[in-house]
């Protein structure tokens, strides 16, 4: 079974995280499948807009901490894991195809980062999003150290990142981090409705718009992605990192 799937419905490419039994938690296999599905969508000449969604009860519940021991075995495994995470941001934000996120349930850690990497976000009213990384001694990725202050301002970004408090869909709408909040039953129709509207527009103009806006974000975004990668690798390697993760899992239980 693949942990991410790609299919196309007319001009809309659909990328689905497909590890519902683990709330689409981020594992090495899920990262590889998500990356390949995004590459398939980007390479599909018949696809003009991409919808990213999650199967089951959540969009993505963040890192699968049960795999932390595998991911942190040695320097090579740590670097491979973090590089794979950051590749998703490169694919999402580096593509000239707009991405509509259909986000429900949990969007935690990396899942919250991928929400922020979408161009337009439709959130279900049951969405809960937060950054737990500071609680378990790790670091954020996905370019959020640049994107979040740009989007909501320095103090609010620091609040979300430092405190790691749970944010509701309505709170994210108030902050301007999602575009629509709808019922769970309306989520897919609303997201696909927006994607369909985008698909009717000039593909040339839409692609150039995304490229120009992302270029306008500047090299600072990609510098932030690189710095996040370096710091996260360092955090994984810190003495006692595994113990902090184990303690975090125990507190969650």
pLDDT at residue 22 is higher than 90: yes
Residue 45's pLDDT band (cuts 50, 70, 90) = very high
**Cβ within 8 Å of residue 76, ≥6 positions away:** none
H-type alpha helices, 19-128: 28-43, 68-71, 75-94, 110-117
Rounded to the nearest 10°, the torsion over CA 62, 65, 68, 71 is -30
113 included as an active-site residue: yes
Residues 13, 17, 21: CA angle, nearest 5 degrees: 150
In tens, the pLDDT along 140-158 reads 999 999 999 999 999 999 9
pLDDT at residue 16 is higher than 80: yes
CA-based torsion, 32, 78, 113, 95: positive or negative:
negative
pLDDT of residue 242: 65
Determine which one of 133, 185, 228, 234 is catalytic.
133
In tens, the pLDDT along 54-66 reads 999 999 999 987 8
In tens, the pLDDT along 218-236 reads 678 888 888 888 988 888 7
pLDDT at residue 125 is higher than 70: yes
pLDDT of residue 147: 94
Question: Can you list the domains of the chain with their CATH numbers?
Answer: 4-199 (3.90.226.10)
The whole-model pTM stands at 0.93
Residues 170, 174, 175: CA angle, nearest 5 degrees: 120
Determine which one of 75, 113, 159, 243 is catalytic.
113
Q: Look over the chain and give the mean of its residue pLDDT values, rounded to a whole number.
A: 92
133 included as an active-site residue: yes
Average pLDDT over residues 101-105: 98
Q: How far apart are CA 134 and CA 164, in angstroms?
A: 7
């Amino acid at each position: 079974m693949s942990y991410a799937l790609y299919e196309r419905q007319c001009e809309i490419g659909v990328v689905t995280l497909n590890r519902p039994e683990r709330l689409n938690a981020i594992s090495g296999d899920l990262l590889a499948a998500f990356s390949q599905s995004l590459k398939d969508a980007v390479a599909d000449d018949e696809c003009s807009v991409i919808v990213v969604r999650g199967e089951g009860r959540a969009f993505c519940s963040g890192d699968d901490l049960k795999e932390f021991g595998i991911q942190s075995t040695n320097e090579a495994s740590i670097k491979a894991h973090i590089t794979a995470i950051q590749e998703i941001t490169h694919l999402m934000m580096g593509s000239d195809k707009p991405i509509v996120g259909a986000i429900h349930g949990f969007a935690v850690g990396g899942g919250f980062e991928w929400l922020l990497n979408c161009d337009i976000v439709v959130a279900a009213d049951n969405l809960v999003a937060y950054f737990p990384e500071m609680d378990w001694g790790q670091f954020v990725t996905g370019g959020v150290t640049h994107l979040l202050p740009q989007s909501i301002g320095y103090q609010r970004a620091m609040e979300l990142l430092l405190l790691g408090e749970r944010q509701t869909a309505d709170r994210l709408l108030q902050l301007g981090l999602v575009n629509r909040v709808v019922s769970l039953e309306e989520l897919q129709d609303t997201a696909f409705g927006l994607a369909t509207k985008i698909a009717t527009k000039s593909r040339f103009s839409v692609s150039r718009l995304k490229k120009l806006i992302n270029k306008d974000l500047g090299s600072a975004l990609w510098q932030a992605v690189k710095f996040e990668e370096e710091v996260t690798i360092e955090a994984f390697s810190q003495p006692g990192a595994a113990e902090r993760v184990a303690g975090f899992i125990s507190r969650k239980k």
